[in-house]
A = this chain, B = another copy of it.
Amino acid sequence: MRAGQGKGSEKSALRYQEIEAWLREIILTGRPGQALPSEVEIAANFDVSRMTARQAVLNLMREGLVDRRRGAGTFIAKNPLHRREGVLLSFSEDMKRRGLKPSSIMVSGKKEIATSEDRNALGLKDPSSVIVIKRIRLADGTPLALERVALLAQCFAVLDEDLENGSLHAGLRKIGFQPTLASGWLKARLATTQEARKLDLPSKSPLLVETRVIEDQNGVAIEYTETAYAANRYVVDIKLNCAPAVIAPFSAAPIAPA
């Protein structure tokens, strides 16, 4: 019996995360529709309880990487290539999952006066400065998106990190900020002439624009990002459960706590 995680000596490898990583490997090399090991098999292989194996599989299901059918099994999702839902991925992580090599071309990175949108998103007062980072984002060497990041001024230390090959979020974690939650929205617009040139597109091409606000571990908005993807090269996937038939008719509720 080994209640808790017991080990402690190792840095942090949680059991279900190990299992997740292992399954991700299988998914990456496997074919859509292919059956994955059952919960019982996973539990036996890793010498964990079935509930722990289950947690790993459910996490992958939440990400849309696998489909599950009761009685039948767990299968690699139909189109696990372009997936994305439930989990916010940084550009780097998003590309890695799609099997592409992410990189960046730094356009600029310095302190600037915050725009009204920056101030609104980050909750700043009227005359404020923010760290603005502009990058061209590449996948396997092909320009895919233009990114403009506005960070709180106290994050200036990230400018010392390698933002061409490394991940911005990794850099933020290194200096003590833990990106944890985000709200965002998607819209479409036309590329300006300069934008089209940077992305190697015909002028007035459509862009798929993702805007998002990211908070740190304390619920403070630290990052406001606009990423403009070349629409002909990028698709955002959503995997959803259909709206419930009813919002749950309710009766005989237990006593509400204080």
Contact = CB atoms under 8 A, between A and B. Distances in A.
Complex copy number for this chain:
2
B204 A204 contact: yes
Contacts of A20: 248
A244 interface: yes
A181 interface: yes
A7 interface: no
Nearest to A230: B188
Interface in A190-222: 190, 204, 206-208, 212, 214, 219
Contacts of A183: 64, 78-79, 237-240
B241 A86 contact: yes
Contacts of A244: 17, 87
Q: Which of A62, A178, A180, A212 has the most CB of B within 10 A?
A: A180
A6 interface: no
A101 to B, nearest CB: 14
Interface in A7-32: 13, 17-18, 20-22, 24-26
B185 A236 contact: yes
B185 A237 contact: yes
A217 to B, nearest CB: 8
A139 interface: no
A240 to B, nearest CB: 4
Interface in A36-72: 37, 41-42, 45-47, 62, 64, 67, 69
A214 B242 contact: yes
A186 interface: yes
A186 B185 contact: no
A214 B188 CA distance: 24
Contacts of A212: 238
A253 interface: yes
A125 interface: no
A3 interface: no
Contact of A207 (B88, B173, B188): B188
B208 A190 contact: no
Interface of A: 13, 17-18, 20-22, 24-26, 37, 41-42, 45-47, 62, 64, 67, 69, 78-79, 82, 85-90, 93, 96-97, 169, 173, 178-190, 204, 206-208, 212, 214, 219, 231-232, 234-245, 247-248, 250, 253-257
Interface pairs A-B: 4 shortest CB-CB: A21-B248, A188-B231, A188-B188, A88-B240
